[in-house]
Structure 1
Amino acid sequence: MKSNHLFVLILSISALALGLWLNYSLSAKKNDPPEHTIDGLLWPQSKILTDFTLTDQHQQPFTLNQLKGHWSLVFFGYTHCPDVCPTTLMVLKGVKQQLVTHQQETANTQYVFISVDGHRDTAPVLANYMNYFDPTFIGLNGTEEQIKGLTGQLGVVYMQVAGSSPDNYLVDHSASILLFDPLGRMIALFSAPHTVEGITSRYLAIRQFLNKEYL
């Protein structure tokens, strides 16, 4: 009789242990970040920025607060860029046009061009350049120290290449488009070459994938 009681006790303890293990496993699985296959998405390893200050084409300050509350597609370049920059800005213009059909869910999207050539890209120059592509695009510049402080946080690289005169030079720079979420975190990095369809589809997929996080 005692052996039967002992057997039942062992079974009960085993069942309890199995139940606790299953409950723990399911809870751990539930708390794991959902998997994704979206090219360029960094989440959940998002990059958190410290505050910064730049100046827009209207000579108004632009800080981390201006990224918050928006989804921001950001590109670093310069107005004298012969190829990559105008091509990428045309892609972003096309993305904006594509998103018209998704206006309700993407109305809080902004497009930001940050100059890595503060010497030549003054506010009036940036204003003219942005107007050529889209007047709603935000053009930013800053001192060398301000730009390096921001690019250093983001892993964006650039380097001036000497030209025929002090005002005639090129700037080698990263060609990626960065995506920031409404909390001001870098959430994705889209590597070149860029297409309107590629950026639009990945952006919408990321918005849909992370929608619950911002509800």
Structure 2
Amino acid sequence: MTKNKGITYTVISCLAIVSMVIGLFVYSTVAEKELTNDQYKLLKFYQLNTKRDLSAFSLFKNNEEFTNADFLGKWDLVFLGFASCPDMCPMTMQKLSKTSDLLSQKEGLIDKINFVMISIDPDRDSPERMHEYATAFNSDFVGVSGGIKDIYQLSLNLTLPFTPIVNSKNKDYDMDHSMNLALIDPQGKYYGFFKTPYTPETIAEALESVIKFAK
């Protein structure tokens, strides 16, 4: 009788160990993990090896000052463009609006990120105009304008180059600028960027992983 009990206990112990091993395997298989660098690259997202500080700047959103402090506390996805842009800028803003909609479907994500459009054309884009332009795509989007010097320096910090045009006699000019998107972390540091071509789906997938797992 005692021998049978010993065998029973041994079998139960073995089954418990096997169950635990299977459970750990299943958990490691299905548990969410941060995307790898290769997976990020397939989504056109590139994380910097070392996060970068941004130079101090002073711009305006609507009638309020917009500074480095506004990049603290949340992730910020930044696009540099201009309101008179005939095609690429509105197309990009539509993509970002769709991205915002996709993130809104994931619990707790949309509250952790801001979408910011900064004008590279302050001669034509007042802070008020940029506010109206950005919020036309999404009421939560932020439109920013200000002095060309601070805007240009910020563009260099974020590796979003453009060719400034100041005091042009031709008021119908176009502008050359990067269509990439810069991602700033909640500490206000340049974290990474999305390189064209991107879609709302690829942006949202990469952002979900970054927001959930980035340290």
Same fold (TM over 0.5): yes
Range that drifts further, 86-95 or 122-131:
122-131
Q: Which residue pairs with 1:126 in the alignment?
A: 130
Which segments of 5 or more consecutive residues in structure 2 lack a partner in the other structure?
1-34
C-alpha distance 154-131 of structure 1, shift in aligned 2 (>3 A): closer
Runs of at least 4 residues of structure 1 off by over 4 A?
none
Q: Does 2:90 match 1:89? A: no
Quote the sequence identity (%): 27
Which segments of 5 or more consecutive residues in structure 1 lack a partner in the other structure?
1-33
Task: Report Cα offsets for 1:140-199 as digits up to 9, x if no partner.
Answer: 11111111121122222111579x952110011010011111011111110112211010
Q: TM-score, normalised by structure 2?
A: 0.75
C-alpha distance 137-35 of structure 1, shift in aligned 2 (>3 A): closer
Q: TM-score, normalised by structure 1?
A: 0.75
Task: Report Cα offsets for 1:75-116 as digits up to 9, x if no partner.
Answer: 000001111110110011001100112231441210000000
Q: Which residue pairs with 2:37 in the alignment?
A: 36
Q: Which residue pairs with 2:57 in the alignment?
A: 52
What amino acid does structure 1 have at the position aligned with 2:192?
A: A
Tell me the distance in 2 between the aligned counterparts of 1:104 and 1:94: 17
Q: Does 2:207 match 1:203? A: yes
C-alpha distance 104-125 of structure 1, shift in aligned 2 (>3 A): same
Range that drifts further, 37-46 or 178-187:
37-46
C-alpha distance 209-133 of structure 1, shift in aligned 2 (>3 A): same
When the two chains are superposed, the root-mean-square deviation of aligned CA atoms in Å is 2.1
CA contact (8 A) 1:88 1:194 kept: no
What amino acid does structure 1 have at the position aligned with 2:72?
A: K
Tell me the distance in 2 between the aligned counterparts of 1:103 and 1:71: 16
1:70-149 alignment runs, 5 A limit = 70-149=74-153
